[in-house]
C-alpha cells in the first residue's frame, strides 16, 4: 500500500512539475494581442503603394507596438522562435486572432452598411423635398398664369365698359 501511495505521489509530482512558458518569453495572451496589432499594422502597410514609403512608415509603427507592450524586437523575436517550436500553442493563438479579426471585420461591415443606409435615406428625403418644391413651384406658376390671364381678359372688358358708359353719357 505504501508503495502504491509512493508511486501515485511521484506521478502527481511529475505531472505538477510540468514546465510552463519561461518568464523571458511573452505569455500567450499578451502574445495574441501583440500579433493581432502586428497583423492589423501589416494590413495597413500593405495598402501603401510604394515599398520605400511602406518601410519608412512601418518601422516606427512596429516600434510603437513594442513600446505599447513594454517589449523590444529581440524579446519578440525570441518569443516567436519559442512559439514556432510549439505549433500547438501558436495555432491556438492564431485561431483566436483569426476570430478576433473576423469579428472586427464583421462589425466594420455592419457599421458601413448602417452608414450607407442612413445616407441613402437622407438622399431620398432630399430628393422627395426637391420634387415637392418643384411640384409646388409648377403649381404656383400655373396658378399665376391663370390669374394673369384672368386679369388680362378682365382688364380690357372693364375698359371697354368704361368707354361704352362714357359714350352713353
DSSP string, 60-111: HHHHHHHHHTT--HHHHHHHHHHHHT-HHHHHHHHHHHHHHHHHHHHHHHHH
Task: Render pLDDT for 96-137 as a digit per residue (tens, 0 to 9).
Answer: 999 999 999 999 999 999 999 999 999 999 988 888 888 878
Is 87 within 8 Å of 63 (Cβ atoms)?
A: no
**Terminal CA-CA length for the chain:** 150
Q: Considering only 43-52, 64-73, 102-111, which range has the smallest mean pLDDT?
A: 43-52
pLDDT the model gives residue 87: 95
pLDDT the model gives residue 147: 60
Give yes or no for residue 6 having a pLDDT over 60: no
With bands split at pLDDT 50, 70 and 90, how would you rate the model's confidence at 72?
very high
Calpha distance 86→123 (Å, rounded): 55
Give yes or no for residue 85 having a pLDDT over 90: yes
List Cβ<8 Å contacts ≥24 apart for 106-109. Answer: none
Is 39 within 8 Å of 100 (Cβ atoms)?
A: no
pLDDT the model gives residue 20: 87
pTM here is 0.60
Amino acid at each position: 500500500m505504501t508503495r502504491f501511495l509512493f508511486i501515485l505521489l511521484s506521478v502527481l509530482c511529475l505531472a505538477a512539475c510540468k514546465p510552463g512558458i519561461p518568464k523571458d518569453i511573452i505569455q500567450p495572451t499578451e502574445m495574441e494581442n501583440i500579433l493581432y496589432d502586428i497583423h492589423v499594422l501589416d494590413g495597413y502597410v500593405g495598402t501603401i503603394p510604394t515599398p520605400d514609403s511602406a518601410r519608412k512608415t512601418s518601422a516606427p509603427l512596429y516600434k510603437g507596438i513594442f513600446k505599447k507592450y513594454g517589449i523590444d524586437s529581440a524579446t519578440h523575436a525570441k518569443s516567436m522562435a519559442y512559439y514556432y517550436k510549439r505549433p500547438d500553442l501558436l495555432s491556438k493563438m492564431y485561431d483566436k486572432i483569426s476570430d478576433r479579426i473576423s469579428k472586427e471585420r464583421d462589425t466594420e461591415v455592419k457599421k458601413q452598411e448602417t452608414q450607407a443606409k442612413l445616407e441613402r435615406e437622407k438622399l431620398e428625403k432630399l430628393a422627395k423635398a426637391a420634387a415637392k418644391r418643384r411640384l409646388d413651384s409648377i403649381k404656383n406658376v400655373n396658378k399665376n398664369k391663370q390669374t394673369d390671364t384672368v386679369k388680362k381678359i378682365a382688364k380690357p372688358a372693364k375698359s371697354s365698359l368704361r368707354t361704352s358708359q362714357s359714350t352713353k353719357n
